[in-house]
Chain A
Amino acid sequence: MQGTFAHHLSEAAVSVELETEGMTLNIGPQHPSTHGVLRLVATVDGERATNVRPVIGYMHRGYEKLSEVRTYPQIITIINRIDWVSGFANEVPFVVAAERLMGVEAPPRAQWIRLVLTEMARISSHLVFMASYPLELGAATPLFFALRERERVLDLLESVTGGRFHPNFNRLGGVKPVYAAGPVTKKAGMDIPSGFLAETRDAMTKVLATCDEIENLVAGNEVFLARTKDVGIMPADIAASYGVSGPNLRASGVGFDLRKVSDYLPYGDFDFDVPVGRNGDCWDRWWVRLEEIRQSCRIITQAIDGLPSSPLQAKVPRIIKVPAGETYVRAENPKGEMGYHLVSMGGLGPYRLKIRSASFSNLSILPWILEEALVPDFIAIMGSLDFVLGDVDR
């Protein structure tokens, strides 16, 4: 035993001499920032990282395989659990993909309701970011403002869909006859709940006021600025080649928004701006999201002013079989590009469903962006990417 101890001592002496050798720092598996379970294996040289390897898969639930043994309506109930912070938005590209193969289009009113609820999901997702990101950097106050408003928006979502996080509200060819509006046997009563439009208008005013409050609290804060300005800079070309999308890409100066170029929902009827950052640092990513909340409020206010009247559901068979074919439909979700590559053989469920989730690609740039970063900046950088591990692991 003594010999062994002496041996260890001599080895320790050797490693003291090799001072420049990097140290391996294991972070996790745990919540790095309360959004799921992630592990990082970092090689650090002093306070700087030389190599970072994210280890994911702790929340892998196998949705792509599960989808092969589910019917289309059943799949809607599982896919809103991918990115649980914006469950409603996950459903839309999937139903649109199936509708395209079926040659069915949802009636205008259903499409507008989808659009309003998608924007509400965006507001609530970005408000979670507004709450958690300053908190991760040591500022607790914005959390209370942001979560208060998020609750307001989630209440509205719940009043229509019956669910705060997992609405399961979309149907192939439209949206669900709304539960809150009376007995389902009365067709005339099946619509969004009475008072919803007025309450939404009121809530949007309050959300906008809170955006100003949050901006006043955070944007001038010296500590927040020091932690985020020029930290975690992501050039646009690197970001694109990694598949980084959504607010993270726009913060790097790319004014690309699928709502402007794609027709999965009637965004063409609305007037809104796409906020774009300049430097692609943590600060820009925070700022872009704050502006996006304001733009979403703008869209929702326009939508409720002009909600068209039509049925909520197109005529579809009772048992839905989707004709053979394949298509890829992508949508601008709060976290970035979310899409479904649907391959149907004409059955009750898909033959293959590839789920393209935004956080997966947004996280895949971590090894690049954390290289040469200071260890204390890890949380600032990772938090600013706003990923949800459920959306990474699927």
Chain B
Amino acid sequence: MTASPSESTVSEAADALEEFADRVAAAVGGRAEVAHGTVKVRVAPSAWKEALTVTSGDLGLVFLSWLSATDWTNEVAVGDEPDEPVEERYELLCAVSDLSDGNLAIISTDLDHDSPSIPSVADVYPGANWHEREAAEMFGIDFVGHPDLTKLYLPDSFEGYPLRKDFPLLSREVKPWPGKVDVEDMPENGGGPSTENPGA
């Protein structure tokens, strides 16, 4: 009953994922990436709205899972800096899915880091309305054509864009990351009593 899936079913699943990724990429005119069981299709900003119109229509990816962004930058005020320099940009992501086989694709596009702006897709997926308001207040992305781009979570008077990497977390300014104090060196560097996790 608990037999792990055989190698053939695993590779079949991987093939099906690749096939789905290629199908989406061909339909929206983008480039497919499949990693860790997640399908991402990169499109140009100019093709963003058209791509999502196609996914919601012909491709049958009618379910809007989420829309958000990642701030790729080398100047971070909180957390770890990237090990290797990254190309500075906002990556806008929109995850859409079908409601039969559970295929999910993340459509992604890169926005200019200085003045991120993109057409709104709130008229394609009505659920994007709130997600875009959130991305606008958190990352400072301008969604052109959005019906009501007001603040969603934050008070109207709030200044700054909290999820940008250069936005400091005040409590961390006062006291550095407490987690780091607890963390010992990796065992191979002489820290910690054992590599074995208790309970293993």
Contact = CB atoms under 8 A, between A and B. Distances in A.
Interface of A: 56-57, 60, 62, 64-66, 68-71, 74, 100-101, 108, 112, 171, 173-174, 176-177, 184, 187, 190, 237-238, 240-245, 249, 254, 256, 258, 260-262, 266, 269, 306, 308, 311-319, 324-330, 337, 339, 341, 343, 345-349, 351-352, 354, 356, 360-361, 364-365, 368, 393
B80 A241 contact: no
Contacts of A262: 102
Interface of B: 1-2, 4, 35-38, 40, 56, 62-66, 68, 70-71, 78-80, 82-83, 93, 95, 99-102, 104, 106, 125-127, 129-130, 138, 151-155, 162-163, 167, 169, 172, 177, 179-180, 183-187, 191-192, 194-200
Given A100-B37, A348-B180, 10 more contacts: A64-B138, A176-B199, A241-B62, A243-B127, A318-B187, A325-B36, A326-B40, A337-B65, A345-B80, A346-B83
Given A328-B95, A328-B106, A69 B172 contact: yes
Contacts of A365: 127
A349 B199 contact: no
Contact of B197 (A57, A316, A327): A316
18 contacts: A57-B152, A65-B78, A69-B172, A69-B177, A112-B2, A171-B197, A243-B63, A260-B102, A269-B1, A313-B200, A319-B185, A326-B35, A328-B95, A345-B83, A347-B79, A361-B64, A364-B127, A365-B127
Contacts of B104: 328, 330
A60 B153 contact: yes
A343 B104 CA distance: 17
Given A65-B162, A348-B179, A177 B199 contact: yes
B200 A315 contact: yes
A71 B183 contact: yes
Contact of B183 (A241, A311, A348): A348
Contacts of A306: 1-2
A329 B155 CA distance: 31
B9 to A, nearest CB: 10
B78 to A, nearest CB: 5
A66 B151 CA distance: 20
Contacts of A69: 78-79, 169, 172, 177, 179
A339 B66 contact: yes
Nearest to A357: B66
Given A62-B162, A348-B183, A315 B197 contact: yes
Contact of A242 (B64, B79, B151, B200): B64
A71 B130 CA distance: 29
B192 A237 contact: no
B164 to A, nearest CB: 10
A318 B195 contact: yes
- Which of A60, A249, A341 is packed against the most chain B CB atoms within 10 Å? A341
Nearest to A261: B102
Nearest to A176: B199
Contacts of A314: 200
A57 B125 contact: no
A356 B95 contact: yes
B30 to A, nearest CB: 17
Contact of A319 (B40, B101, B186): B186
Of A70, A174, A243, most B-chain CB atoms within 10 Å:
A243
Nearest to A111: B2
Nearest to A327: B36
Nearest to A316: B197
Contacts of B183: 71, 319, 348
B153 A393 contact: yes
Nearest to A337: B65
A131 to B, nearest CB: 29
A69 B79 CA distance: 5
Contacts of B198: 177, 184
A70 to B, nearest CB: 6
Given A173-B197, A315-B200, A318-B197, A241 B35 contact: no
B188 to A, nearest CB: 9
Given A187-B199, A241-B126, A326-B38, A347 B64 contact: no
